Structure 1
Amino acid sequence: MNNAGSPRKPPGLSAHGDDIPEALRETPALKPKPTRSGWRLFWWGFMGFAIALIAGGLAAWLTQSISPGSLTGGAAIPLQAGLQAALAPAGTQSSDLLLGHLPYEEAPETELAPITTDGSIRLRQAAAERFTEMSNAARADGVDLVTISGFRTVEEQQYLFFGIQAEQGQASTERAEVSAPPGYSEHHTGYAVDVADSSQPETDLEISFENTPAFKWLKENAAYFNFELSFPENNPQGVSYEPWHWRFVGDRDSLETFYKARTPTARLGS
Structure 2
Amino acid sequence: MPRTPPVPLKAVLLNTPDIELWPGGLLRARSNHDARALSRARHVLRRKRDGAYLAADLSEGLLPLLPGLQREPGLDAALDALEASPLGTRNGIDHVGELPLHRLQERLDALGIDADAYEARTGLALVAEPDWLAFAGFDRYRRALWLRIDAARAWLRMHDAAARDDVLLDAISGYRSHDYQLGIFDRKLARGLSIDDILAVNAAPGYSEHHGGCALDIGTPGEPPAEESFEATPAFEWLQAHAGGHGFAMSYPRGNPHGIVHEPWHWRFASA
TM-score by length of 2: 0.53
Cα distance in 2 for partners of 1:196, 1:125 equals: 21
Q: Deviations over 1:182-216 (max 9, x none)?
A: 11111111111001011x223x2111110011111
Report the 3-state secondary structure (helix = DSSP H, G, I; strand = E; otherwise coil) of the residue aligned with 2:219: strand
CA contact 2:230–2:236 (8 Å) conserved in 1: yes
Cα distance in 2 for partners of 1:237, 1:103 equals: 11
Cα distance in 2 for partners of 1:178, 1:120 equals: 24
Instruction: Determine whether 1:107 maps to 2:129.
Output: yes
CA contact 1:104–1:189 (8 Å) conserved in 2: no
Q: Offset of 1:96 from its aligned partner?
A: 5.6
| Map of 1:158 onto structure 2 | 182
Cα distance in 2 for partners of 1:184, 1:99 equals: 13
Count of aligned pairs between the two proteins: 155
User: In structure 2, what residue type is equivalent to 1:144?
Assistant: L
Pick from 202, 205, 220: which aligns with 2:226? 205
Cα distance in 2 for partners of 1:135, 1:181 equals: 29
Q: Offset of 1:160 from its aligned partner?
A: 1.2
Structure with higher RCO (Cα < 8 A, 6+ apart): 1
Report the 3-state secondary structure (helix = DSSP H, G, I; strand = E; otherwise coil) of the residue aligned with 1:193: strand
Instruction: Determine whether 1:189 maps to 2:235.
Output: no
Alignment of structure 1 residues 1-270 onto 2, 5 Å: 95=117, 97=119, 100=122, 102-110=124-132, 112-117=133-138, 120-167=144-191, 169-198=192-221, 200-202=222-224, 204-250=225-271
Provide the identity percentage: 37
Q: Offset of 1:135 from its aligned partner?
A: 0.2
Q: Offset of 1:101 from its aligned partner?
A: 6.7
User: In structure 2, what residue type is equivalent to 1:148?
Assistant: I
Cα distance in 1 for partners of 2:123, 2:187 equals: 18
Cα distance in 2 for partners of 1:132, 1:154 equals: 25
Larger helix proportion of the pair = 1
Q: Deviations over 1:227-252 (max 9, x none)?
A: 0000111123332210000001107x
Q: Offset of 1:144 from its aligned partner?
A: 1.1
CA contact 1:193–1:246 (8 Å) conserved in 2: yes
Cα distance in 2 for partners of 1:105, 1:222 equals: 23
Structure 2: 5+ residue stretches without partners: 1-114
User: In structure 2, what residue type is equivalent to 1:209?
Assistant: F
Larger radius of gyration: 1
Cα distance in 1 for partners of 2:212, 2:183 equals: 18
User: In structure 2, what residue type is equivalent to 1:170?
Assistant: L
Q: Which range moves more in the overlay, 178-187 or 99-108?
A: 99-108
Cα distance in 1 for partners of 2:118, 2:232 equals: 35
Report the 3-state secondary structure (helix = DSSP H, G, I; strand = E; otherwise coil) of the residue aligned with 1:116: strand
Report the 3-state secondary structure (helix = DSSP H, G, I; strand = E; otherwise coil) of the residue aligned with 1:247: strand
Cα distance in 1 for partners of 2:264, 2:186 equals: 24
User: In structure 1, what residue type is equivalent to 2:126?
Assistant: Y
CA contact 1:96–1:103 (8 Å) conserved in 2: no
CA contact 1:124–1:191 (8 Å) conserved in 2: yes
Q: Offset of 1:129 from its aligned partner?
A: 0.2
User: In structure 2, what residue type is equivalent to 1:249?
Assistant: A
CA contact 1:99–1:176 (8 Å) conserved in 2: no
Structure 1: 5+ residue stretches without partners: 1-92, 252-270
